[in-house]
Amino acid sequence: MRRILAVAGGVDMAVTGHWHRWARLAVFAMLVAPALVRGVPQSFVHAAWAGDRGAPGGIRALAQTPDGYLWIGSLTGLYRFDGVTFERALDEHGHPLPSASITALLAAPDGALWIGYFQAGVARYKDGHLTVVADGSRVNRRYVRSIARARSGVIWAASPGGLLRIEQGTPRTVDANDGFDSMAAWSVAVDSSDNVWVTGDARLFLMKAGTSRFVATGVEVGPLATVIRGDDGTVWVSETTGGLRAVPGLTEDHTAVAMGMPLRPDDAVTAAGLLIDRRGRMWGTDDNNGRLFVLENPSRLANGRVVRSDETDTRLSERDGLTSGMMGPVFEDREGTLWMGSNTGLDSFRSSAITPLSGLSDSQRMLYAMPGNNDDGAWLTDIFRVLRVDSDGVRTWATVPDEIRGIYVVSRNRLWTFSPRTGAYRIDDGVVTSVPLPAGGRWSWQQVTPDGRDGVWMHSDAGELFHWTGREWHGVHWSPFGKERPTSLVHGEGDAVWAMGADGRVAMRDGSGTTRTWAVPLPGTVRVIDVSQDETLVGSENGVARIVGDRAEATDHFGAYALVNVTGIYRAGGEVWLNTANGLVRVPLDALRRSLSDHSYVPPFRVFDERDGLSGGADIGAPNTLFPARNGRFWVHTLNGIYVFDPSKVETNPVAPLVFIRTVNADGEALPASSGMAIGPEVRRMRFDFTATSLAVPGRVQFRYRLDGVDADWQGPSTERFATYTRLPPGHYVFHVVAANEDGVWSGQGATLPFDIRPQFFERTIVRAALAILLLAAIVLSCILAVRRSNARVRLQLQAQFAERHRMGREIQDTLLESMQGVLLSLSAAADGLDACHPFRRDLGQVIEGAEKTVGAMRERVIELQTRPVASDNLADRIGEAGARLGQVYGVPFVLAQTGATRSVAAGVEGEVLAIATEAMRNAFVHARASRVVCLAGFRSEGVTVTVSDDGHGFDVTDPDNEGSGLSGMRDRALMLGATLTVHSGPATGTRIDLSIPRSAAYGEGARQRDWWKKWRGRTSR
């Protein structure tokens, strides 16, 4: 067993599954007998578009093309409507159509629109191209009243000027040779069996499917007659002189039905527009009486009599919200929405599961309903009276001597009421008994709740909880929130009493007197509680919560939808209904539980609001604003009235919307959306305007969009019909958009728009290539200049070095060599003075010979120091000559090898390289004790390499003591050149010295430029 408990403004109710437990409802104001709304068809929602919403006036025809657009033919032109925007149709040149007075429309399966004009004939319109098929002379300059299409593709056009047959674009006037002997054709209709029905001057004509001739029936018709045939086979005719009537017995196989023109009664119904919808209802626009009428079951009146106004189930006029009393065409679209055109706008009616009650004044804001048990009644209050509302009407059930502020239904025939001055009254079967209130404390009707049997609980400001058991009050002290007084009381399971605080706290006192409290994690006052054995659902000012055991969990939103002022909770069939300030919300119970524990989860939910016929949000001053009724229905109470909701009538729209990209706005310039369009250059802001042809609830159509290359994923969903991007760089893009209808049925592929943003002049490929070449040339030039500066520095260093060497050579020549030459002369004189057989003469001669060689070598070195280096093409030869000389001096074989073609070496570099190589070779000859010395000279594009190696005993290169002056000098020379010198040696492995001179230093700037030019010429020539 489950109870629904509610509190709002202190008024509460309890409902159980037993027939004898009733809900409690109240209304504060004068009562006008409630009844279902008169005017708006039951279970339909009305919407209207007048001129202030863009609708054209003088609407005479409606049609829907396969792309979902609703087309409107009016006396001001042709328009199309996507549910939001009215657009005037233009031709392929962007001009209005030749004739603005349109009186008939027909949408063909191929997307073409057939147009009937006032005095201008018939035309075909498709993709902006207008083709006049029959000019005005074909219809004697009369207006076309209706157009129909047979399955074969034949188009029929009815006009007071005659009947046209259009086949394969060729028009022909139908005459007596075709069996149609009427000068006028007031209307033409093709039924579901492909029979063609036409109302002529005075008779109804029929062309049976599969035949080519018309047959005159025995049915007389008057001027402006309209004919339709329902799916049940009944033919209906309406004319201004006779009225609306069925033609019983008339079929394609039985046309000899005699029916004369009836006498029109004063209250006869006539129809300018007539339609039987997919549910079998008949809709008609009675322009003579300025009304729209509905027959829920037209077959009950299909007896041949003229239908009277009081026989219609619904009559709607301009007073009931229609855009005008002069109504015209009636049309049903592919989603089941009914459309009516009028002189001043457009009206629509859509199926709904919500039925409003009328007759309640604006001040009547609280309803107390009781549950089913074959009884859909409700209790209302009218200041001093308690009234019963059910299928039999409204009757006074009891009258109390004071103004009623609270009413509580405790059983089928027992109610309690509370008044601000005189206290409580118990009403048994209409008999009113005053019940004195407990002594002490101040009482408020807001802190009262039935006990689930025949008594009530009351709470005072002194913290006393009193229980009326049938004869007397029994009190206990209970202050569950300390000094804070409970805002409301409700009754729970058994003898449990629930109390709610303004700060979101909830307390429960069970039958044994034990109290438990919960802090609902939501701010604000708790409005309603729904208690069951397993869990308790709580509605508050700012969300919904769930209490299980000692734990309370809550949420204040479902995705972007805020749950504000939840004042009604109703559970049925695994679903939970929440009445909120923003509408009635349906959510699966399991999904609600998950969303309460996982706030990132968005449950599947649907909102019912004014677009579904539920006007106004939940009333926060009422008790639980949702109450069960009979057959699964329930009552809904809002700020604007009282409604009956039937979940079994909730329909799902299975029609996926078609999506279209209407325009592209580039920096304020509107451009037609065309595939492959090029935009720009330099577009700062782009806006894509799109739409979807879902006409049922266009305000609930949701869109997702994505721009390839910009968006990693779909954006949305959103109800906005545009997307904006800023500062898109030049390139190719594809914009995608999809849409879903009000029930979440998505369009699938949707619409796409490939387009390009043109680059600016400096962003073009050829310009970028030219700029890249210029940049590369600037880099090359800067490198050349850098090399020149580097070579200049090297030349300055070499010049300074040469000056220093020349000075040193001169000093050596003038001092050391001259002194040694003197010593040699003295030694020679001494040797000559010795006897030829003297033992020292031979030794002294050898010393003199060695000294002369040393002096000669020193002279060569001095000459080398004083000789200015010049560019040479034989560096390898000079190294070979120096090595050969040293080999002869020290008696060690010398080998020279060369790799690469000989190349000129820069001035000043050759001498340094020769000096380094000579020093390396001298060290090998003098110190290595080698059996052979090898020198390898290499010429490569990257630079020059010189390697000197021997097979001597080697040395430890890691020992700093082995770093003699010769090796240090070679390193210094190499460093000055920007070259690298590497020594490889080890005991018994010989020694190898590698010298590597980079290209910039070895060959100089001129060689570098020549090499670059040769390579470039070689590549471009290929």
Q: Pick from 671, 675, 677, 701: which is nearest to 689 by CA?
A: 671
Q: Which residue has the tokens 């009562």?
A: 31
80-113 tens-digit pLDDT = 999 999 999 987 777 888 788 999 999 999 999 9
Residue carrying the six token digits 């782009």: 686
Q: Which residue has the higher pLDDT, 51 or 847?
A: 51
What's the pLDDT score for residue 19? 26
pLDDT over 80 at 358, yes or no: no
Mean pLDDT of 157-179: 95
Element (H, E) at 725: strand 722-726
Contact call for residues 923 and 1020 (beta carbons, < 8 A): no
Q: What percent of the chain lies above the pLDDT cut of 90?
A: 44
How far apart (Å, rounded) are the C-alpha atoms in residues 584 and 422? 37
Give yes or no for residue 594 having a pLDDT over 80: yes
Q: How far is CA 757 from the centre of its chain?
A: 23
CATH class, range 874-1003 = alpha beta
Is residue 371 pLDDT above 60, yes or no?
no
Q: Which residue has the tokens 């004939």?
A: 121
Give the pLDDT score at 704: 96
What are the φ/ψ torsions at residue 504 (nearest 5 degrees)? 90, 0
Q: Mean pLDDT, to the nearest integer, of 232-244?
A: 92
Q: What whole-number distance in Å separates Cα of residue 29 and Cα of residue 27?
A: 6
pLDDT for the residue 864: 58
Contact indicator for 227, 292 with CB cutoff of 8 Å = no
**pLDDT one-digit tens code per residue, 118-159:** 988 999 999 889 999 999 888 888 899 999 999 999 999 999
- 377: Cβ–Cβ under 8 A, 6 or more apart, which residues? 369, 370, 388, 389, 390, 391
Q: Has residue 274 got a pLDDT over 70?
A: yes
The residues, ordered by sequence, that sit 6+ positions from 815 with a Cβ below 8 Å of its Cβ are none
Q: How far apart are CA 119 and CA 213, in angstroms?
A: 27
Question: Using the 8-state DSSP alphabet, how is residue 213 labeled?
Answer: S
At the top level of CATH, the class of 438-519 is mainly beta
- Looking up tokens 């083709």 gives 131
Measured on CA atoms in the order 291, 297, 299, 302, is the torsion positive or negative? negative
Fold of 682-757: Immunoglobulin-like (2.60.40)
Lowest-confidence region among 179-193, 552-566, 595-609, 835-849: 835-849
Report the distance separating Cα 195 and Cα 559, nearest Å: 53
Give the range among 232-246, 391-405, 924-938, 1006-1020 with minimum mean pLDDT: 1006-1020
Question: Residue 60 corresponds to which tokens in the numbers above?
Answer: 């005479």
Sequence-distant (6+) residues with CB within 8 A of 271 are 226, 238, 244, 284, 285, 286, 293
1: buried, middle or exposed (CB in 10 Å: 19+, 13-18, 0-12)? exposed
Q: Which two tokens stand for residue 484?
A: 């804070």
Q: Residue 365: is its pLDDT beyond 80?
A: no
Mean pLDDT: which of 203-212, 431-440, 959-968 is highest? 203-212
With 70 as the cut, is the pLDDT of residue 441 above it?
no
Residue type, 445: W
> Residue 632: which pLDDT band, with cuts at 50, 70 and 90?
confident
User: 509 to each of 203, 466, 495, 521, 786, how far by Cα in Å?
Assistant: 81, 13, 8, 21, 94
% of the chain surpassing 70 pLDDT: 87
* Residue 875 C-alpha from the chain's centroid: 76
What confidence score (pLDDT) does residue 623 get? 65
pLDDT number for residue 244: 94
Higher pLDDT, 168 or 851: 168
* pLDDT score, position 18: 28
pTM of the model: 0.72
pLDDT surpassing 50 at residue 748: yes
**Residue 580 reports pLDDT greater than 60:** yes
Mean pLDDT in residue range 193-202: 95
Taking all residues of the chain, what is their mean pLDDT, rounded to a whole number? 84
**Quick count: other Cβ atoms within 10 Å of Cβ 962?**
12
CA torsion sign, 914 to 918 to 920 to 921? positive
- By residue count, the chain amounts to 1022
The pLDDT score that the predictor gives to residue 807 is 77
The residue among 966 and 626 whose pLDDT is bigger is 626
Strands 575-580 and 583-588: antiparallel
Where b means 16+ CB within 10 Å and e means fewer, 79-112 reads bbbbbeebeebeeeeeeebebbbbbbbbbbeeeb
pLDDT number for residue 273: 93
Q: Which residues of 935-959 are buried (b: 16+ CB within 10 A; e: fewer)?
A: bbbbbeeebbbbbbbbbbbbbeeee
Both structure tokens of 80: 């199309």
> Average pLDDT of 12-23?
29
